[in-house]
Amino acid sequence: MMFEMVSAGLTDTGLARKNNEDSFLIDHPLLIVADGMGGAAAGEIASSIATEVISSSMKNVKYTTDAEITEK
């Protein structure tokens, strides 16, 4: 059974902050959302680093295919 996933990302500064601290990464099958630190110093850097580190760490993970799941 195959399925298609369509994804998109958007961040918004909102009304309370002057800068956007949120980050996201779309690299199928990996989707990452990193919420900023709510006005803490360098929150935008923290969320950006989080997406980079998670993405880099996941590059070595073997994903299970639909065929492998069906066999089990």
- Name every residue whose Cβ is closer than 8 Å to that of residue 48 and which is 6 or more positions away in sequence: 23, 34
Q: Is the dihedral of CA 41, 44, 46, 49 positive or negative?
A: negative
Output the pTM of the full model. 0.66
Residue 72 has pLDDT above 60, yes or no: no
Domain chopping of the chain, boundaries: 23-71
Do 36 and 51 touch, CB atoms closer than 8 A?
A: no
Q: Which tokens belong to 29?
A: 């099958």
- Tens of pLDDT along 3-46? 888 899 988 887 877 888 889 999 888 899 998 777 677 788 88
